[in-house]
Amino acid sequence: MVGKRKTKPVIEINVDEVEKLAGQGLTDQQIACCLGISRRTLASRKKDFAQIAHAIKKGKAKGIATVTNVLFEKITKEKNISAIIFYLKSQAGWQEPQVVKQDIHVQNMDQVYKQLDEILATGKESARLENQKAEMIERQRLLQEEDYDLIKNDK
């Protein structure tokens, strides 16, 4: 038997367990650990077996849907103000008003212009970051809609 390589035993992956773990919010690394395999093995199986990748997507979507339902009940039935504010901030783009206070000590006009330029630059950076945040929230909303459609179409 010279020249023959020993092969690793094939580890069976329970797709239902993968979906359940993903639904609990676990990362791929954590799912792999729970299954007793490496993250690399899980990534390989996701690539080779569409049902494993689908189980992870479906599980995550179900988990988000479950939490969203609880949040929505807190909003509609319990009238929980914190939940309402969180929902409006994350889904409707609401934000706390930002008050910027700046003390300027005038010694000469050149210094005033320099400080004004610094304040304006900071404001532009804040606006740019707010735009990026809004784009990320919109992307998250679209992903949640896709996940919801996955669950709905899977039923």
Residues in the chain: 155
Classify residue 27: in a domain, yes or no.
yes
For residue 76, being part of any structural domain is answered with yes
Give the SS3 label for residue 32. Answer: helix
Range of the domain at 105: 15-154
| Number of domains observed in the structure of the chain | 1
| pLDDT reading at 54 higher than 80 | yes
Q: Rounded to two decimals, what is the model's pTM?
A: 0.54
Query: In the predicted model, what is the mean pLDDT of residues 87-110?
Result: 76
Asked whether residue 141 is assigned to any structural domain, the reply reads yes
Q: In this structure, is residue 116 part of a structural domain? A: yes
Residue 102 falls within a domain, yes or no?
yes
Q: Is 7 inside a domain boundary?
A: no
The reply to whether 9 falls in a domain is no
CA distance 67 to 87: 12
Cβ-proximal residues to 149 (8 Å cutoff; 6+ apart), any chain: none
pLDDT classification of 11: cutoffs 50, 70, 90 = confident
Average pLDDT, the chain: 84
Mean pLDDT within 106-118: 73
